[in-house]
Structure 1
């Protein structure tokens, strides 16, 4: 029986403990700060925030390139000979990473790619769904497995509140007028993945303690999320009080498991400090 190996990008923010436990292979994306290129995962988030405090500039990000993917897939084949590789990728609508993976994959047999049309916890949710399927049925036919994973891609729901309008403004993601209005009224945009694209779907007003609870309630009212698992994403700076309250709400609403995921360097350059997100898969 040939072994199936799952892989994804660092932009999934898949916790290292889960990647190691399930042999999920993770290829790094890139963060460019002060003219230097860093591999995501080799640059601490605190360094990004310190850089912003000093310069009022944020780093840029870039995709994993074709050569890196080629070397990544080659290493998987070396470490897991005769394996079948299923790569579950970062949304193609927000990065060139998936397209680069497709090009690299042309040189490999038994390598299949799935566009998860999602990022961070939404991508992790799809990867961990695949992990669960493999654990339940290790001998599952790869084609059948791929069909099952692809059926869940449109049901993976991610919503998040960036932690800082200052960070969004510095990155050119909001206009000065929107920034001033939002800052004065303490408005925080909710960002969701809609058909793989990052879209602002609603706005909240108030401090993050209240906003996080409102987002949780709205998210669960909008989506019928599988109660077996929910993921919460945070960027450094989110208060422990908020984490505790959100975990309580997950328990109160019947979730069997909740997992907190820290946004890595790549995702944190878009969310800013103190961001909060929710991800899960609809039934």
Structure 2
């Protein structure tokens, strides 16, 4: 039986302990700051926010390129010659990363590519689902594993509130006037993944503590999330009181396991400090 190796991008914000536990190979995306190219994960997120504080500019981000995927797949095959690789990728609707993986995979055999149509915790939820399934059924055929992962992709639901409208404005995602009005009125947009695309849906007013609770309620009303596992996503700067409150609400709603995931450089560059999100899998 061929060994199955899972891989994904750093944009999944997969916790290091889980990547190590399940031997998931994570390939970094890129952050460009002050003319330097940093591998996502090598640059402390706080430095991104400090840079913005000094310059009122945000770094740019780029996808994992085809050469990097070639190296990733080559290294996996070198260490595990008889392995089958199942790569679960960052949404192709928001990055060229997945297409670069497709290009690189043409040179290899026994590679399956799955577009998760999701990012951060939504992508992590799919990857962890695959890892746990593989642990439960180590002899599962690769094709059957891929079928099950592809079936769960549409059930992964992610919604988040960026930490700063000013940060979104600096990145060109909202206009100066919209940012000013939103800040004055304390409006916080909710971003969701719809068919792999980042879409602004609802708007919340007030402090993050209240907005996070409203987001969570709306999320549970809209989606029938499996109570076995829930993921909360945060960018550094989120108040600890908000975290405690959300843990309490999740427990009251019957979630057995709650995992907090810190947004890495790729996601934080686009959302700002103090952001909050939730991800899970529908039943």
Q: What interval of TM-score do these two structures reach, taking the shorter chain for normalisation? A: over 0.9
Work out whether 1:116 is the aligned partner of 2:139: no
So what's the TM-score if we normalise by structure 1?
Answer: 0.99
The CA deviation at 1:184 is 1.0
Measure, in 2, the Cα distance between the counterparts of 1:122 and 1:80. 28
The CA deviation at 1:128 is 0.6
CA RMSD of aligned residues (A): 0.6
So what's the TM-score if we normalise by structure 2?
Answer: 0.99
Work out whether 1:218 is the aligned partner of 2:224: no
Measure, in 1, the Cα distance between the counterparts of 2:238 and 2:78. 40
Unmatched segments (≥5 aa) in structure 1: none
Query: How do 1:1-283 residues align onto structure 2 when only pairs under 5 Å count?
Result: 1-283=1-283
Measure, in 2, the Cα distance between the counterparts of 1:217 and 1:199. 19
SS of equivalent residue, structure 1 residue 261: strand
Measure, in 1, the Cα distance between the counterparts of 2:225 and 2:123. 15
Spell out, residue by residue over 1:211-268, the C-alpha distance to the aligned partner (whole angstroms, 9 max, x if none): 0111111101110001000001000000110001101111110111000000001110
Measure, in 1, the Cα distance between the counterparts of 2:275 and 2:241. 14
The CA deviation at 1:177 is 1.9
Measure, in 2, the Cα distance between the counterparts of 1:209 and 1:100. 39
Measure, in 2, the Cα distance between the counterparts of 1:73 and 1:141. 20
The CA deviation at 1:79 is 2.0
SS of equivalent residue, structure 2 residue 251: helix
Consecutive aligned runs of 4 or more in structure 1 exceeding 6 Å deviation: none
